[in-house]
Chain A
Amino acid sequence: MKILDLAIKDLSQILRDKKVLLFLVAMPIVFTLFMGFAYNAGESGDENADTRLGLAYVDPQPDSRLSQMLFARLEESDALKVIRLEQAEALDSLRRGEVVGVLVIPSGFGEQDAGGTFRQLTLIAESNSSDGQSLYQLLRVPISQLMSAVEIASISADVQGSPAEFAPALELAWAKWDETSRLERVRLERATARVEESWFGDNPYNQASPGILVQFAIMSLVTSAQILVNERKTRTMQRLMTTAMRPWEMVAGHLLAMFGLVFLQTALLVVFAQFVLGVNYLNEPLGTLLVSVAMCLWVAAMGLLIGVLAKSDDQVVLFSLVSMFLFSALGGTWFPLEASGGAFAAIGRLMPSAWAMTGYQNILIRGLDLSAAWLPTTILLAYAFGFFLLALWRFRKMEL
């Protein structure tokens, strides 16, 4: 009962400022609409249009083994459209915008062997355009792999004292790269190529809505975690300690307030997305509820920790925003994790925010039933519990 009273007092203090509602609800709605459009725009256009990046491949000695290896590898890519051209033609079509870049293979490239160092390739592209950047990223990996294959081959030829060993060693190293990098390559290309339309299901808000939901849930801590700092500043926390209330009850009361606020926000955003944007959260109402409750508990527990750690209001804002950026960026709330590269996606998967997204998308995009909500819910609850224990521990150690 005291826990509830404390939570109600917290909430009435937070909601006393009417701007907070604007911040909690209006802003995320505007963002959702904007993000929906942004995703839309990103995908619109002719379904059959070739979205591959054009690359002109200029090589005076097209028959060399090294050049063949590289060309074959580039041609394999779904994200590139590679055409062989003479240097002059190539530069012309770059100027006309028919290709995004020109890759110039230096003469003598194919004659590298045990003694030679790797000769520099030249990429001519608009380095500050996003297409130019993408092209560079796409070329970076295969070229550096080719370079290292040459290195490996010349080292092994060196060690064996026979220049004849170079060619077979190169083939072997290249084959290994091809094998191990296949996965890597797919991810990289996905990241740079445009996200496939099918990812969102039939509604572009299917990504935008839960993404913004999770992001702004964390952002709401900017207001709610202040409460704990204020309790210390006004010395009311100290007074509370002199009542018969136990420390865990105090912590639970504040946790409940933060949970209440973020859950209210989430509920309003879900309702808006369902009935205005047609994002079908009610496809699996219980699943949505489970994931939302678990996500809000995790966010609230994190708010508690921020409130305990922060020494001033400024720090609350700082810590909340850092958490928001960290968990949003890594957890795939801004763009699908499926669209990002290897290590990034691997770390992202571990994030509670990613599990919240998975939980929602199982319902919204994959159309799975309630059973698919259990795993994300359980993991989010585990995170909530972990953050809660951390906050409780810091709270007990706090200097009042």
Chain B
Amino acid sequence: MNAIEVRHLKKSFGELQAVQGVAFAAEKGEILSLLGPNGAGKSTTISMLSGLLAPNDGDAAIMGHSIRTEPEAAKASLGVVPQDIALYPDLSARENLVFWGKMYGLRGAALKTRVDEVLDIIGLRDRQKDAVGKFSGGMKRRVNIGAALLHKPQVVIMDEPTVGIDPQSRRHILDNVKELNRQGMTVLYTTHYMEEAAELSDHIAIMDSGKVIAYGTHDELIKLVNGQTRIDLTLNVEGADVLDAWKVVEGVNGIDSTDGVVTVLVSDSNLVLPRLFEAAGKLGARITSVDIQEPNLETVFLHLTGRALRD
């Protein structure tokens, strides 16, 4: 039995088809990442898995319990870390954890012990008496995670738990995820940072526009761009016309530009790079930097969609 099994989930908001028949599965004890840009439909998928949104079609099972027919059983084995902080700002970290522990059915000594353990996991034992509202973004995120761990769920779903926080807190959280997984929890981790997906995951499902467009281990996904190289370039001019010229250069398989950095996917950099210089030169533009990258998940996304993943 898979820990998470998602079959053909669909969800529309009016005209917008946010999730269009998504299917994937997470084996027991693994970390599965949902990787995709903002708006891909990751949170919507997770909201359906955690019982916040009713799917328009399809079903999913958590530890074998259907979210449609046995929602309570499905939820009981599930811990959800929502994308937005969901805590009481006027209560202290400890009061928050105690409350959520009770909501997961813990009582008395077991509750107290578990709250202490979780405070240790998230590294906030010495700040437990402070109101959560006064915490930094990173500390809030850690309590937000802690609240989902109290009942030692077999499956944890985390929705972009590292968005907008300092590097130390992010490191702490990534280490937490690995440690929880080492102890046997199955983790479904959504992110739009390909480094996180690469570091954590046993399997990765790449999502875009409401669909899973690729699935596999990190290495399997990289093989999709076999032999292709990604080149990041910068120009001395704002080069919309340069981009147009490069698109039709022979050997260019994908191109995208964000924040002045042009990312080009090529079959053979030795062959294509001179052509790029030449095409730019014809338009009076100069290439100011070239960075040839090993193929990574970013390259895969570019290969699959023609767009860059980074935001």
Contact = CB atoms under 8 A, between A and B. Distances in A.
Interface of A: 1-2, 5-6, 9, 13, 16, 234-236, 238-246, 400
21 contacts: A1-B107, A2-B102, A2-B105, A5-B99, A13-B91, A234-B85, A234-B87, A234-B88, A235-B86, A236-B86, A236-B87, A236-B88, A238-B86, A239-B86, A242-B50, A242-B80, A242-B82, A243-B75, A244-B105, A245-B103, A400-B52
Contacts of B52: 238, 241-242, 400
A221 B80 CA distance: 32
A13 B85 CA distance: 19
Given A234-B89, A238-B52, A239-B86, A246 B72 contact: yes
B90 interface: yes
A212 to B, nearest CB: 30
State the main secondary structure of chain A at its contact with B: helix
B103 A240 contact: yes
A93 B91 CA distance: 71
Interface string B95-119: 0000110111101000000000000
Contacts of B91: 13
B51 interface: yes
A9 B100 CA distance: 11
Given A5-B103, A242-B50, 6 more contacts: A9-B99, A234-B88, A235-B84, A236-B88, A238-B52, A241-B51
State the main secondary structure of chain B at its contact with A: loop
A246 B71 CA distance: 9
Interface of B: 50-52, 72-73, 75-76, 78, 80, 82, 84-91, 99-100, 102-105, 107, 147
A13 B90 contact: yes
A104 to B, nearest CB: 69
A242 B78 contact: yes
A47 B176 CA distance: 83
Nearest to A233: B89
A13 B103 CA distance: 16
- Residue of B75, B80, B86 ringed by the most chain A CB atoms within 10 A: B86
Contacts of B107: 1
B75 A244 contact: yes
A256 B170 CA distance: 40
